[in-house]
A and B are shown apart, each in its own frame.
Chain A
């Protein structure tokens, strides 16, 4: 805007002296340029930097304390350990980005794996059909969560707390509290174990599940950052009213997010069967909280709108590194959870600090 415009009609008296005032306020210049300000800005725009650094530092630290740690064996064990948590954390990231939370992810995973196992082993359906139906069932459960969150206008915490119990009891009823043994799966539906297999790479055994985790994370990263849907997911988590007024179909997007999360958990069920080798209705009871831990340590904000998919994978790896590292260092097992707890609190404090940077 130029000052040499036609003189203003009735500029108010109290503003008349403004012409002489400094006009810099409205220009887009940055003033505060301290190091901390820049650092916060940098970290806010590169949210994966923190978990990446933490991961590298913790690997370095543990390899000093426990020399065996840096061996390929230990590292590939960590990758295998975190595969299932990693998948569930991907689903959880999508939901937390919308400022929601999903406490039912673990139940969805186990119920889907039971459906796959029952159909393939007991009923004798072809493995691929059983897997597809299992994933589909996962999607339906996610859809139910999404419909309750949007159409009934209930908080995601309450909805998924409820569906957690519901899915848990359905899974016990459906399985009659019986597990499907590894020998039966191997005999009748060995395809269910596909993702447990792997190959040797420089002495490390890498499972197909681990590779698939990386591929799915890359796919979701692309979708979140380079498609309109991904931008809408961020915008809804940031400010749902603003998103609605901007013309985003908020309900439809939220329903799709919960459904996709359910589908990912359904797919993770197949991975989990390969990882564990058997199917049990009481397995993976701690994957809910482990996934939230991974997401939070990975730098995704529980208040929605900011975070990254890569961060969640790194977050899952950090937890795995701590658990394996502490046990290789000879620390008692109960300190593992202590360390994970500290990591969560530090990660959330960091997020709060970054948010304040906008002021």
Chain B
């Protein structure tokens, strides 16, 4: 729609994704494009199928048909691990953290580093010191390092701090794409503001971001482009500078159609 014309290869692209749960069609010919370095917001009404699409992009759902391209090359995700291995990190709405484990342990959950030499290869010892240093570095890079103790359990952190750690984890390992699912939904006004700044910080480092949100002010504040999802596919992609929030809501609820788009139901 907007991307190919500029001659830049999208970093993450999906073509004609289909997914059916029994008689329910969650995705019907869904397309998607994320350009390098941008924040792409994905909005859509409840049940529009945006979370199925996001899950397909993060490996949590395997589509029935269609293809996903990363850097222009076709890829197949069988599990979140596959997507993660290729540098796509997702911050889930529930954050996917283990409250009793430390910040450092949480950041490395599922991809722990082993100690060098025989301690690591035979005795499977983790390299705690190196992991903790890395975690501390990543948190301070994102300006979250007023934290005193990287070994403190995540449950002792506030909601905004946990979100911060989750974003830092994604940023630390998401070399290609970071997907944020409703990052501000559970947060207060001030904490939301802080997380929005974090997201902007991520973009400043050149990491493209997919932002799923119901919060129109946040979407319009951050997004470079807005992907509007409706009835299992992409309705259109708009530039937030050209449209108002009420336009966007009208498009996603079907009250109005964007110019040049004919809805076929």
User: Which A residues have a C-beta under 8 Å from some C-beta of B?
Assistant: 1-2, 5, 8-12, 14-15, 18, 21, 23, 25-30, 41, 44-45, 222-223, 226-229, 231-232, 234-235, 238-239, 241-243, 245-248, 305-306, 358
Q: How far is the CB of B120 from chain A (nearest CB, A)?
A: 10
The reply to whether A235 and B109 contact each other, CB–CB distance below 8 Å, is yes
**Nearest 8 interchain pairs by C-beta:** A247-B110, A28-B147, A26-B194, A245-B96, A358-B155, A228-B112, A27-B146, A235-B98
Inter-chain contacts of A306 with B (CB < 8 A): 100
Inter-chain contacts of B157 with A (CB < 8 A): 28
> Bound state CA distance, A37 and B123, in angstroms?
37
Stretch at the interface among B11-19, B30-38, B158-166, B254-262: B158-166
Inter-chain contacts of B121 with A (CB < 8 A): none
Inter-chain contacts of A11 with B (CB < 8 A): 221
The reply to whether A246 and B198 contact each other, CB–CB distance below 8 Å, is no
The reply to whether B109 and A246 contact each other, CB–CB distance below 8 Å, is yes
The reply to whether B146 and A29 contact each other, CB–CB distance below 8 Å, is yes
Inter-chain contacts of A228 with B (CB < 8 A): 112, 114, 124, 126
List 6 interface pairs A-B (beta carbons < 8 Å), by A numbering: A26-B161, A227-B125, A235-B101, A238-B100, A242-B98, A243-B98
The reply to whether A30 and B148 contact each other, CB–CB distance below 8 Å, is yes
> Bound state CA distance, A21 and B194, in angstroms?
12
- A358 contact from B80, B94, B99, B193, Cβ within 8 A: B99
- Looking at chain B, what size class is its interface with the partner chain? 35 or more
The reply to whether A26 and B156 contact each other, CB–CB distance below 8 Å, is no
Which residue of the partner chain A has the closest CB to B99? A238
> Bound state CA distance, A246 and B96, in angstroms?
6
Which residue of the partner chain B has the closest CB to A11? B221
Inter-chain contacts of A243 with B (CB < 8 A): 98, 109-110
The reply to whether B100 and A234 contact each other, CB–CB distance below 8 Å, is yes
Inter-chain contacts of B160 with A (CB < 8 A): 25-26
Given contacts A5-B200, A14-B189, A28-B157, 10 further A-B contacts (CB under 8 A): A8-B221, A21-B190, A29-B146, A222-B123, A228-B114, A231-B105, A238-B100, A242-B98, A246-B106, A247-B110
> Bound state CA distance, A25 and B109, in angstroms?
27
Q: How far is the CB of A230 from chain B (nearest CB, A)?
A: 9
The reply to whether B80 and A239 contact each other, CB–CB distance below 8 Å, is no
The reply to whether A242 and B100 contact each other, CB–CB distance below 8 Å, is no
Given contacts A28-B147, A44-B153, A228-B112, contact A242 B95 (CB under 8 A): yes
> Bound state CA distance, A28 and B153, in angstroms?
13
The reply to whether A242 and B97 contact each other, CB–CB distance below 8 Å, is yes
Inter-chain contacts of B205 with A (CB < 8 A): none
Inter-chain contacts of B188 with A (CB < 8 A): 25
Per-position binary interface string of chain B over residues 110-129, scored 1 when its CB falls under 8 Å from any chain A CB and 0 otherwise:
11101000000001111010
Inter-chain contacts of A44 with B (CB < 8 A): 153
Inter-chain contacts of A223 with B (CB < 8 A): 124
In the complex, which of the residues A11, A29, A242 has the most CB atoms of chain B within 10 Å of its own CB atom?
A242
Q: How far is the CB of B202 from chain A (nearest CB, A)?
A: 11
**B92 in contact (CB, < 8 A):** yes
> Bound state CA distance, A2 and B146, in angstroms?
13
Q: How far is the CB of A180 from chain B (nearest CB, A)?
A: 38
**B61 in contact (CB, < 8 A):** no
Which residue of the partner chain B has the closest CB to A245? B96
Which residue of the partner chain B has the closest CB to A355? B155
Given contacts A15-B193, A25-B191, contact A238 B101 (CB under 8 A): yes
Inter-chain contacts of B153 with A (CB < 8 A): 44-45, 358
- B198 contact from A1, A14, A222, A241, Cβ within 8 A: A1
- B126 contact from A25, A231, A246, A358, Cβ within 8 A: A231
Inter-chain contacts of A232 with B (CB < 8 A): 109-110
**B7 in contact (CB, < 8 A):** no
Q: How far is the CB of B244 from chain A (nearest CB, A)?
A: 11
> Bound state CA distance, A14 and B109, in angstroms?
38
Given contacts A229-B124, A247-B84, A358-B155, contact A18 B101 (CB under 8 A): no
**B71 in contact (CB, < 8 A):** no
Given contacts A27-B146, A358-B99, contact A247 B156 (CB under 8 A): no
In the complex, which of the residues A9, A11, A23, A232 has the most CB atoms of chain B within 10 Å of its own CB atom?
A9
The reply to whether A227 and B126 contact each other, CB–CB distance below 8 Å, is yes
> Bound state CA distance, A194 and B99, in angstroms?
44
> Bound state CA distance, A58 and B126, in angstroms?
37
Inter-chain contacts of B137 with A (CB < 8 A): none
Inter-chain contacts of B220 with A (CB < 8 A): 9-10
The reply to whether B99 and A18 contact each other, CB–CB distance below 8 Å, is no
- A238 contact from B98, B193, B198, Cβ within 8 A: B98
Q: How far is the CB of A329 from chain B (nearest CB, A)?
A: 38
In the complex, which of the residues B97, B106, B109, B128 has the most CB atoms of chain A within 10 Å of its own CB atom?
B109
Inter-chain contacts of B99 with A (CB < 8 A): 238-239, 305, 358
**B67 in contact (CB, < 8 A):** no
